[in-house]
A and B are shown apart, each in its own frame.
Chain A
Amino acid sequence: MSSLARSVPFSFGRLGIVAGNTFLEAVRQKLFNFLLLLAVALVASAQLFREFNFGSSELKFIADFGFGSMVFFGSTLTIAATAQLFFSEIENRTALTLLAKPIWRTEFIFGKLLGVLAVVGVFCALTTGLLLVLLYNRETALMAANPEAFEAGRLIHYGDLVLMGVLQWLKFGVLAAITLLVASFSNTNLYTVVMGFFMLVICHLQYLARDAYSQVSALPLRLLVQGLSYVFPNFQVFNLADQIGIGQGIDPTVFLRVGAYALTYIAVFGGLAVYSFSQREI
């Protein structure tokens, strides 16, 4: 009997196996077609701006549209992939087979999360890379065409551009954890996706509650507004350089703080998803 009752400690190995399988599913289910779409959109938009003869400001337009599409497609990919990769397990009842194995639900949830993070990470790395190449090539061409605009050297801070890619990835990580929390108690994929987008908007608007609470005089309402500002993470902090790669550079200490902020939220939302999922009857 004692040989049978050996305990099963939490294992990063199993977590990694679940993550790997989740990533593989995303790849084989062709979720990465998103990337292709984005790449085409990026290259096409970069070509479009040449028509307008913006001069050196063309780089700003390319960077804005590149990052704009990355944020838009990335948010969509994150929410859709998280919901899909979670519900494919529930709806196809593969979760039943998997959780009937000696595996912790914590390993399952964090495995899923890590898998999604890997998918979104590849997305961010490739789009940032593509954007860098586009900008660098175009900047080189523009520098040759009108050197006076580039008197002080290159205009784009390529290092900041990479940091922005990392920041977006972290933001998507928090978004994935939030979506997973919703999925852990939700019954349908659609509800999860809708709630995911809803949360995305709320987290972007969280700062409005923060700003408003000092101006509200009625105490109960004030407490409610203040409470709201504490409950939701502030997604605006990830826009450290909204004017991408141009203008003021990113302060490394601020960057590190935002990184810690994101990781804390990923852990907390992931933990809550585990708690909620542990009560779910499969």
Chain B
Amino acid sequence: MSPGAALSAETHAKETAAPVLSVRDLRISFPSEAGTVEAVRGISFDLLPGRTLGIVGESGSGKSATAMGIMGLLPPSATAGGSVLLGGRDLVGMDDRALSRVRGRSIGMVFQDPLSSLTPIFSVGRLLSDALRVHQDLTRQAAWERAVELLDLVGIPAPRERAGAFPHEFSGGMRQRVVIAMAIANRPSVLVADEPTTALDVTVQAQILDVLRLAQRETGAGLVLITHDLGVVAGHADDVAVMYAGRFVERAGVDELFHRPTMPYTARLLAAVPTVDGGTPRPLVPIGGEPPVLVDLPAGCPFAARCAVAVDACADTEPELRSVPGHGEVACLRAEAVAEGLLDPSGPDAPDAPAPAPAPAPGTGPTRVGEVVLRVEDLVKTFPVTKGGLLKRRVGTVHAVNGVGFELRAGETLGLVGESGSGKTTTLLEILRLSRPEGGRIEIAGVDVGAQDAAERVRGLRRDVQIVMQDPLGALDPRLTVRRLLAEPLQAVGQDRTSILGRVEELLALVGLDSAVGDRFPAALSGGQRQRVAIARALATEPKLLALDEPLSALDVSVQAGVINLLARLKRELSLAYLVVSHDLGVVRHVSDRVAVMYLGRIVESGTTESVFSDPRHPYTRALLSAIPLPDPRRERTRERVVLEGEQPSATRPPTGCVFVDRCPLYRVADDGTRRRCLTHRPEQVRVTERPDHQYACHLA
């Protein structure tokens, strides 16, 4: 696809080809305890063959309900209105039997979670041949042959042998390939992909997006790509629709949309996404507030309450989606002003903006670096592997953490990045255990936690080290109120009642929560509030070191930015040391002063955030960075990519040489002598000249 084709694609294409899918005023609602949830409130679009419409939205925006509505897979309790025209027939109101003749044949779907979307008791070959035989009159044999071809097409190695394997024997990425193969088995004219890569690691995400593109090319189908990730849309969609509170609030060609987002929501969303590209990261501007609940929506624009440029009229009537010259269609009263550049959608002073004195953006360098709070040397942690659910037996050892070392100082943030299985979370939990590690040494605030004679001092460390977990809902006991949750760590260190009461109020204020929140239960809070409670709780005992395990991954983008800014403020005010574990490089870049990249239990590259992101040396870091989709279609199309093959192997038999050797693009082109060295010698950490803090472990880079 050339950049030019995407420009004004809509108007051109409409004249040349008939849409394969036309959605008109689609409305979907569900009954709930609180009342009728209007998940989708009238959306319309046309999809042309071979083209991709990206639908972007946060959780609860109605994007998944839209996908299910198009597929005719809504639960029986849902009611749908409007029309979904496919091949001249309206799918809304069609009975299940008639719909089943359309599904799989004219329209295929790729689901979010590949781990649960394949029937566990059938082999993948069987699943695929069944999918073929539903619509085609094939013999068992012929269907199996075709299934093998499809597995080959989507890039399953040794497809003939693997066809007989069961879903649980495949990795997540491989399973998603199978799901794609099932979706295109009968060459449908429309593909719907609902968050197809959200559950996958970023290097695997890049592969799956490629497979999806290949599948689209093979079938010539139109693709509806539904995602929360603006980067994915920027690289893969021709047109983009932004969904908010069950409606499209902006729809435009991908270039127009990213070049000048016109609906304030779109603009604010883009400003809130942490990215990995460019020089110094810009400070994130959170949107503030939370998306509305879609029950009994008040009149007016649903975004008005969070909008910085809302006028009185916005609260009266909900604006229709209307055409704005050069910017597709926008549902905003002030669209023209924004489009012409007369109005900044972030507003003169955005609500909930970061603290008055615009501190140096986090990541630009340590503010006040103090003494060493945490020193880890050569840390080792292994787990036994048992195989089979029933016939358990030990088959090996996972070397989850294999010789990891780093330092962390007060007032500094170290980001530990890596894909799932890289050992980053294990490293964090080992530190928090506060007991002698299996191998290596951990020293917190000058105390060696493994030392025999330091037991008393180690116990004292409890209040110095605290954790914020990934899922705040799981980490907060559902049966305790916020106030009691906050009091718990204080009771644990033996504070008296009155000082606890005072401290709890202080903590609520510290993380920007109203005192009234204290009486509530975690379930009654929003995601952002819950994570604030979790942070407040971790701060209760005035720790020196705060471990943050994927602190933002459970939050929506528009809420994320607020928590990122809160963390930055707290670090500055309390001169904390953060150890942040995350798979999201964008987030890590925004919160960290230094980063360490982990692969298969080892740190392959580390250094200041700026240095590592602007000049990555290790081939894995490079691949990781280039696999992250940027929310900028032009750069996304032009930049050079390193697409890794395969997936991170399990750490049961770590290679004797370099851990990255079987996926390394440099190794593949190296000469025999070097190759032998990669295979047999574990690379030492090499320092980058003039930036002594930046080091990497590679023989070749």
A binds B: no
**Interface of B with A (CB < 8 Å)?**
none
**Interface of A with B (CB < 8 Å)?**
none
